[in-house]
Every structure is written in structure tokens, then in C-alpha cells.
A and B are shown apart, each in its own frame.
Chain A
Amino acid sequence: MLRRRLISFLLLSLFLLFALVPLNLWADDFGPRRQLEVSIDQLLEVLRDDSLKGDEKQTLRHQRIAEVVFLQFNMRRMAMLSLGRDWRSLSEVERNHFTELFRKLLKKSYVATIDSYADEQISYRKEIIKGNKAEVRTMVISVSREIEIPLNYKLQVKEGRWLVYDVIIENVSLVRNYRSQFGPIMKKRGFSELIAQMEKKVAEAGKKEDG
């Protein structure tokens, strides 16, 4: 009798034990960090590709970086969170248009920033998983420039994949930074003016890159 109670107690304890072990011990293979690593390795390959080096290849190189990096991004979600609750009142066509412009803005700034990380090393510091959200913390270590740049990613599961919905460079969240800019424009001028400003910015930045 005592023996049976002991066994059931043991089983229960074992069950509790496993239930309480932090999730990230199980998630090694398919976890956010692993998925991000694959994407970052591809990015580094592009950055270190000799046939893509030099200022004259910049446009092509940025194109390739964007292809690799944005594959791991949930662009629609980034755009949505950057706009805030006004997103709800947009039509599907408006949402797509906005997302497309947002992607082009990111290409101008984020991709150019990433491009300057060519001869740097990425060290993975921490992976925090909570439910379907996660944060992966990395450090961009530049030996040649004597600096370390903390670069963190926020990810969320979408259809079984961990996709990035925010990037935090040196403590500055990209989504939050855009939200602080979009908010006042939406409030004072409205959506069509916001779109007009984004289109203008994208065109202006494009001109600079060609020249």
C-alpha cells in the first residue's frame, strides 16, 4: 500500500518536474534562436560575398540583403504595430499599400545599417521564450571599429515559424521608433498624408542611392 503510494508520488513528482523545466531547454532545434541563426548566417554570406563588394555594387547588395533578411521578418505585423490601432480602420488595400511602403522605408535605413556590419561577428547572448513570443539577444562585435552593438530581435510564431516583428538596435526598438513618428502624423493629418510622406521619403532616399 505504502509502496503504491510512493510510486504514484514519484510519478507525480516526475511529471511536475518536467512541466516546470524552462521551455527553452526543449526548443533547441526549432527555437527562435536557431531559426534566426540560419537567417543571419545567410546574411553574413551575402555580406562577405566578394562579388558583391564595393560601392558600385551597393544597390544590388542591398537588394540581396533585403531578400535574405526580410524572409525572416513578419513585415505586415511590423507595419501594423508601427501604425498602432489605426490599422483596424484601414481597408485591406490600404493595409497592403502601407505595408509595402513600410518595407521600402526599412530597406532604406535598416538594410543600409546591416550592410555596414560586413566584417563584424555576431555573438548570441540570450534567448527568452514566453508562449508564442520570444526575444533573442545578440551582440554585433566589431573588432575594427572598437565597438559592440547590442542587437535584439523580437519574434512571434506564425504558421509554425518564428518570425521577427521588431528589431532593437542599441536599445532602440524599430517599431516603437516608427510608431512615435507615425502617431502624430496620423492624428494631425490623417492616413492619406502619412502615405504621401512615406512615398516622398522612399522616392527621395532612392534618388540618393542612385546618384
Chain B
Amino acid sequence: MSRKYLVILILLSSFLIVNLGSATLVCQAAADDIVADNDEYSEYDAEVGGLSDPLEMVNRPVFTFNDRLRLWILEPTARGYRKVTPRMFRAGLLNFFDNLLEPTRFINCLLQGRFNAAGETFMRFALNSTVGVGGLMDPATFDGMKTHERRFASTFAHYGIHSGPYLVLPFFGPSDLRGIFGLVGNTLTQPLFYILRSEPLVAVAVEGSKSVNHVSFRLGEYEKMISGALDPYVAVRDAYEQHQQKVMGEE
């Protein structure tokens, strides 16, 4: 009798532990995303306005420049380009440029001690560069391998370096001080950089085509986002900040 009792006790308690575990998991996941009400507004308190912008006076004109560049030059060019180019070609180019980022991602996965992610990134690069015809196709994603978006800025963040002030870079768009150092690291680990180092004009042309090709997949999105904004500069800055918080904070 007492042995039976013991068995039931063990079974039940293991059941309880499993359930307790999943319940706390769910609660934790929820707690990460939904802040308990102190008052109704506090859900958004901690997050709003964390990124400092002491250079707003300089940033605003640069933002206006980028805004015009996007709406008056980049979008119309991409629209025309999309009309005359088959989707296969554009998708191939998108994959090709994305594949070239894998070495940077691989190095930063390693630097952050994410060895599984580094392994997967390496496999992606190997598979897409060979079976995927130099990166034009993306069989790795088809096989269920994920892109691990780790670049130098996220490595700096990983080691506790703060973003520093918000900066709007001409052509490149929203960034911050940490982002600039990240950009340097990303460029130095970029295969194209070494190929095109002696040909700056070609490099600019390549970057330009890359942007046009990229925008051809996201036509009109920027305009729509801006169309409901009272202050587009602040809207874009906040979008950048929210995006950063999410990407940099992810485990």
C-alpha cells in the first residue's frame, strides 16, 4: 500500500513540476512583453525616449536630404527598374547580396559565443554559395536554416557598449555612434570591400544598385509610414530606436 502511495505521489509530483514549469514559462514570456499595469499608461513609459539626440540640429537636415533622396530618386528608379526586370533576377540579386553578409554574421556569432548560430550561418554560406549558385538562390532557407542577424553593432551591444547619440548618416540613414563603429567592422569583413577597394566608383555603383534592388521589393512602404506621421523625423527616429531595442536585446 505504501509503495503504491509512493508511486502515485511521484507520478503526480512530476506531473505538477512539468505543468508548473510550462506555466511559469508562459508567464515569463508574457511578462517580457506585457508590463503589468501600475496605471494604464505605464506600459509605454520605460520605453519612450531612451535614445539621446543631442545632435538633432544636424540630424534634421540630413534626414530631409535622405527623405528626398528616397522619395524623389530611389523610389522612382526602383519602380522603373522593377517594371523592366524579371522578378527572378531581382530576387537573385537580393539573395546574392544577402549571402555576402554571412561571413560578417558568422564572425559576430562567434564573437558573441553563439556557436550553434555560427555553425548554422557557416552552413548557410557554404550551401548557398555552392548549391545556390554563388548565392543567387537560397536553398538554405528552404532547408529551414535561419539567418542570424548578428553584426558588429550587436556584438558591441552584447558586451555592454551603449548606443551613444542618435545620428542620421547621409545615404545610410538612421544610426548611432555604436552603429558607425559597427559599420566599419561590417565593411572590413565584407568580401566585396576587398574586391572593389581599388575601384571606389564601381563600389558606389554596386551599393547604389543594391539599394535600388532592395527598394524594388518594398516600394511605397516608406511613404505610407510617413504619411500618417505628424513629425516624420521623430517617427523615423522612434522606429529606429524600437527596432534596435528589439534586435539588440534578443537572445
Contacts and interface: CB of A to CB of B under 8 A. Distances in A.
B241 to A, nearest CB: 8
A175 interface: yes
- Which of the listed residues B22, B23, B221 has the most CB atoms from chain A within 10 Å of its own CB? B221
A171 B234 contact: no
Given A130-B34, A180-B49, A181-B235, A197 B230 contact: yes
B1 A176 contact: no
B16 A147 contact: no
B23 A21 contact: yes
B229 to A, nearest CB: 6
Contacts of A198: 230
B225 A24 contact: no
Nearest to A177: B238
A184 B20 CA distance: 45
B16 A146 contact: no
Contacts of B33: 128, 135
A21 B24 CA distance: 10
A106 B228 contact: yes
Interface stretch (B157-165, B167-175, B204-212, B242-250): B242-250
A116 interface: yes
A58 to B, nearest CB: 12
A22 B23 contact: yes
B48 interface: yes
Interface stretch (B37-45, B107-115, B185-193): B37-45
Main secondary structure of the interface of B (DSSP, over half): helix
Interface residues of B, number: 50
A205 B34 contact: no
B228 A108 contact: yes
B26 interface: yes
B155 to A, nearest CB: 20
B29 A171 contact: no
Interface stretch (A9-17, A41-49, A64-72): A9-17
B221 A116 contact: yes
Interface string A106-122: 10111011001000000
B87 interface: yes
A141 interface: no
A61 interface: no
Contacts of B69: none
24 contacts: A6-B5, A17-B12, A22-B26, A81-B43, A109-B227, A116-B220, A128-B26, A128-B33, A129-B30, A130-B30, A130-B34, A135-B33, A135-B34, A172-B243, A173-B242, A176-B238, A177-B235, A179-B44, A180-B234, A181-B231, A181-B234, A184-B231, A201-B228, A205-B227
Interface of B: 1, 5, 8, 12, 15-16, 19-20, 22-23, 26-27, 29-31, 33-34, 39-41, 43-44, 47-49, 87, 91, 94, 217-218, 220-221, 224-231, 234-235, 237-239, 242-243, 245-247
